[in-house]
Chains A and B, each alone.
Chain A
Amino acid sequence: MYPRCRILVDALNVPMREYFRNIYRGIWTVLIGMKVTFMHLFTPAVTIQYPDVKLKLPERARNRLYVNMDDCIGCFQCDMACPVDCFKIETVKSLPTEDLGMTSTGQKKRLWVTQFDIDIAKCCYCGLCVYPCPTECIKMTDVYEFSEFDRHNLIYNYATVTPAEAAEIKARTAEYEKEQAAKKAAAAQAAAAAKAAQPAPAPPSGNPPPSPPAQSPS
Chain B
Amino acid sequence: MEQVLQNLLHNDILTYVIMAVVPLLWILPYALFAVWLERKVSAHMQDRLGPMRTGGWHGWAQTLADILKLIQKEDIVPSAADKKLHFVAPYLVFIGSYAAFAAIPFSSAYIGSNINIGLFYVIAVSSLVVVGLLMAGWASNNKWSLFGAVRSAAQIVSYEIPTALALLAVVMVAGTLNLQTINQAQTGWFWNWYLFQKFPFIFIAFIIYFVSSLAETNRTPFDIPEAESELVAGYHTEYSGMKFAMFFLAEYANMFAVSAIGSTLFLGGWNSPFGDFLSGPFWGVFWFLSKGMFFVFVQMWLRWTLPRLRVDQLMYVSWKVLTPWAFACILGVGFWLML
Asked if B52 lies at the interface with its beta carbon under 8 angstroms from chain A, I say: yes
Asked if B313 lies at the interface with its beta carbon under 8 angstroms from chain A, I say: yes
Are B301's CB and A38's CB within 8 A? yes
Closest to A39 in B: B45
Asked if B260 lies at the interface with its beta carbon under 8 angstroms from chain A, I say: no
Assuming A45-B43, A46-B48, is B320 touching A30 (CB within 8 A)? no
| 1/0 contact string of B279-302 vs chain A (CB within 8 Å) | 000000000000000000000011
Are A34's CB and B44's CB within 8 A? no
Are B302's CB and A34's CB within 8 A? yes
Q: Measured between C-beta atoms, what is the minimum distance from A28 to chain B in Å?
A: 13
Assuming A4-B313, A34-B301, is B306 touching A40 (CB within 8 A)? no
Are B47's CB and A8's CB within 8 A? no
Asked if B312 lies at the interface with its beta carbon under 8 angstroms from chain A, I say: yes
Of the candidates B44, B306, B320, the one whose C-beta lies within 8 Å of that of A45 is B44
Are A40's CB and B46's CB within 8 A? yes
Q: Measured between C-beta atoms, what is the minimum distance from A131 to chain B in Å?
A: 40
**For chain A residues 1-56, which have a beta carbon within 8 Å of chain B?**
4, 7-8, 11, 19, 23, 26-27, 30, 33-34, 36-38, 40-41, 43-47, 49
Of the candidates A7, A36, A40, the one whose C-beta lies within 8 Å of that of B44 is A40
B52 contact set on A, CB distance < 8 A? 49
Q: Chain B interface: which size bin?
A: 20 to 34
Q: Measured between C-beta atoms, what is the minimum distance from A85 to chain B in Å?
A: 40
A47 to B302, CA, bound (A): 23
Asked if B67 lies at the interface with its beta carbon under 8 angstroms from chain A, I say: no
Closest to B207 in A: A27
Are B45's CB and A23's CB within 8 A? no
Are B305's CB and A34's CB within 8 A? yes
Assuming A8-B312, A41-B44, A47-B48, is B321 touching A30 (CB within 8 A)? no
A36 contact set on B, CB distance < 8 A? 305
Assuming A49-B49, A49-B52, is B305 touching A33 (CB within 8 A)? yes
Asked if B41 lies at the interface with its beta carbon under 8 angstroms from chain A, I say: yes
B191 contact set on A, CB distance < 8 A? none
Are A30's CB and B305's CB within 8 A? yes
A46 to B46, CA, bound (A): 9
B207 contact set on A, CB distance < 8 A? 27
Are A41's CB and B306's CB within 8 A? no
Q: Chain A interface: which size bin?
A: 20 to 34
A40 contact set on B, CB distance < 8 A? 44-47
**For chain A residues 90-136, which have a beta carbon within 8 Å of chain B?**
none
B305 contact set on A, CB distance < 8 A? 30, 33-34, 36-37
Q: Measured between C-beta atoms, what is the minimum distance from B82 to chain A in Å?
A: 36
Are B320's CB and A43's CB within 8 A? no
Q: Measured between C-beta atoms, what is the minimum distance from A46 to chain B in Å?
A: 5
A41 contact set on B, CB distance < 8 A? 41, 44-45
Are B47's CB and A43's CB within 8 A? yes
Q: Measured between C-beta atoms, what is the minimum distance from B47 to chain A in Å?
A: 5
A34 to B297, CA, bound (A): 12
**For chain A residues 40-75, which have a beta carbon within 8 Å of chain B?**
40-41, 43-47, 49
Asked if B277 lies at the interface with its beta carbon under 8 angstroms from chain A, I say: no
Closest to B44 in A: A41
Assuming A11-B320, A30-B305, is B45 touching A37 (CB within 8 A)? yes
A41 to B45, CA, bound (A): 5
Q: Measured between C-beta atoms, what is the minimum distance from B323 to chain A in Å?
A: 12
Are A47's CB and B316's CB within 8 A? no
Are A47's CB and B45's CB within 8 A? no
B45 contact set on A, CB distance < 8 A? 37, 40-41
Asked if B304 lies at the interface with its beta carbon under 8 angstroms from chain A, I say: yes
Of the candidates A8, A23, A43, the one whose C-beta lies within 8 Å of that of B321 is A23
A45 to B58, CA, bound (A): 13
Q: Measured between C-beta atoms, what is the minimum distance from B295 to chain A in Å?
A: 14
Are A37's CB and B49's CB within 8 A? no
B48 contact set on A, CB distance < 8 A? 45-47
A-B contact pairs, 23 of them (CB 8 A): A4-B313, A7-B316, A8-B312, A8-B316, A11-B320, A23-B321, A26-B321, A30-B302, A30-B306, A33-B305, A33-B306, A34-B301, A37-B301, A37-B304, A37-B305, A38-B301, A40-B46, A41-B41, A41-B44, A44-B47, A45-B47, A45-B48, A46-B48
Sorted nearest first, the 6 A-B pairs with minimum C-beta distance are A33-B305, A37-B305, A37-B45, A47-B49, A45-B49, A41-B44
